[in-house]
A and B are shown apart, each in its own frame.
Chain A
Amino acid sequence: MTLTPVITEHWDDPELFTLAGYRRHGGYTALASALKQEPDAIIGTVKDSGLRGRGGAGFPTGLKWSFVPQNDGKPHYLVVNADESEPGACKDIPIMIANPHSLVEGVIITSYAIRANHAFIYIRGEVPEAIRRVANAVREAREAGLIGQNILGSGFDLEVVVHAGAGAYICGEETALLDSLEGFRGQPRLKPPFPAVAGLYASPTVINNVETICNIPYIVGRGVDWFRQFGTEKSPGFKVFAVSGHVNRPGIYEAPLGITMRELLEYAGGMTDGRQVKFWLPGGSSVPMLTAEHLDIPMTYEDMAEAGTMLGTGTPMIFNDTVSVVKAVTRWLEFYKHESCGKCTPCREGTYFITQTLERFEHGHGTDSEMGTLVDLCGQIAGRSFCALGDAAATPYPAALKYFRDEFVAATTTAVDDQFDPAASYVFSGAAAR
Chain B
Amino acid sequence: MAISESTREQLDELVARYPRPRSALMPMLHLVQSLEGEVTPEGIALCADMAGVSAAEATAVASFYTMYKRRPVGRHHIGVCINTMCGLLGGDAVYDALSERLGVGHDQATPDGEFWLERIECQAACTHAPVMTVDWEFMDDVTPASAVDIVDRLQRGETVHSTRGPAIRDFRATEHSLAFPEDGLAAEGTPVDDKMLAGLRLAKERGMSAPAVPAGQEG
- With contacts A166-B66, A201-B19, A251-B197 taken as known, whether A425 is within 8 angstroms of B126 at the C-beta atoms is no
Chain B residues in 8 Å Cβ range of A225:
214
Minimum-distance CB pairs A-B, first 6: A221-B219, A251-B198, A253-B199, A166-B65, A183-B22, A135-B181
Tell me whether A126 and B210 are in contact (CB under 8 A): no
Q: What separation, in Å, do the CA atoms of A210 and B152 have in the docked complex?
A: 37
Is B144 located at the chain interface by the 8 A CB criterion? yes
Chain B residues in 8 Å Cβ range of A425:
88-90
**Minimal beta-carbon separation of B217 from chain A (angstroms):** 5
Count the A residues whose beta carbon is within 8 Å of the partner chain — how many?
A: 109
A-B contact pairs, 8 of them (CB 8 A): A5-B209, A87-B126, A98-B192, A135-B182, A135-B186, A183-B23, A249-B202, A427-B141
Q: What separation, in Å, do the CA atoms of A45 and B81 have in the docked complex?
A: 41
Chain B, residue nearest A186 (CB): B64
Chain A, residue nearest B39 (CB): A166
Is B85 located at the chain interface by the 8 A CB criterion? yes
Chain B residues in 8 Å Cβ range of A422:
88, 92-93
A-contact 0/1 string along B173-214, CB 8 Å cutoff: 010011101110111001110111111111100101111011
Interface residues of B, Cβ cutoff 8 Å to A:
17-20, 22-27, 29-30, 51, 53, 60-61, 64-68, 79, 82-85, 87-90, 92-93, 97, 120-130, 133, 136-138, 141, 143-146, 148, 162, 164-166, 174, 177-179, 181-183, 185-187, 190-192, 194-203, 206, 208-211, 213-214, 217-219
Is A17 located at the chain interface by the 8 A CB criterion? yes
Interface residues of A, Cβ cutoff 8 Å to B:
2-6, 8-9, 11-12, 14, 16-18, 26, 29-30, 33, 75, 84-90, 92-94, 97-98, 118, 124-129, 131-136, 139, 161-169, 180-186, 201, 217-218, 220-223, 225-226, 229-230, 238, 241-246, 249-255, 267-268, 285, 315, 317, 319, 323, 327-328, 331-332, 335, 338-339, 422-423, 425-428, 431-434
Chain A residues in 8 Å Cβ range of B66:
166-168
- With contacts A6-B210, A85-B122, A90-B127 taken as known, whether A428 is within 8 angstroms of B90 at the C-beta atoms is yes
Tell me whether A432 and B144 are in contact (CB under 8 A): yes
**Minimal beta-carbon separation of A112 from chain B (angstroms):** 16
**Minimal beta-carbon separation of A8 from chain B (angstroms):** 5
Contact of B19 among A84, A98, A118 (CB under 8 A): A118
Tell me whether A127 and B136 are in contact (CB under 8 A): yes
Chain B, residue nearest A162 (CB): B181
Tell me whether A242 and B130 are in contact (CB under 8 A): no
**Minimal beta-carbon separation of B99 from chain A (angstroms):** 13
Q: What separation, in Å, do the CA atoms of A304 and B192 have in the docked complex?
A: 31
Most B-side CB within 10 Å, residue of A3, A126, A226: A126
Q: What separation, in Å, do the CA atoms of A253 and B65 have in the docked complex?
A: 33
- With contacts A14-B192, A162-B181, A426-B90 taken as known, whether A133 is within 8 angstroms of B186 at the C-beta atoms is yes
Tell me whether A183 and B182 are in contact (CB under 8 A): no
**Minimal beta-carbon separation of B120 from chain A (angstroms):** 7
Tell me whether B191 and A331 are in contact (CB under 8 A): no
Chain A, residue nearest B79 (CB): A126
Chain A, residue nearest B183 (CB): A132
Chain B residues in 8 Å Cβ range of A8:
199-200
Tell me whether B51 and A183 are in contact (CB under 8 A): yes
Q: What separation, in Å, do the CA atoms of A164 and B28 have in the docked complex?
A: 11
Tell me whether A97 and B191 are in contact (CB under 8 A): yes
Tell me whether A222 and B217 are in contact (CB under 8 A): yes
Tell me whether B122 and A249 are in contact (CB under 8 A): no
- With contacts A2-B208, A162-B181, A285-B84 taken as known, whether A217 is within 8 angstroms of B219 at the C-beta atoms is yes
Contact of B89 among A180, A427, A433, A434 (CB under 8 A): A427
Chain A residues in 8 Å Cβ range of B187:
17-18
Chain B residues in 8 Å Cβ range of A30:
219
Contact of B198 among A180, A182, A253, A338 (CB under 8 A): A253
Chain A residues in 8 Å Cβ range of B210:
4-6, 9, 230, 238
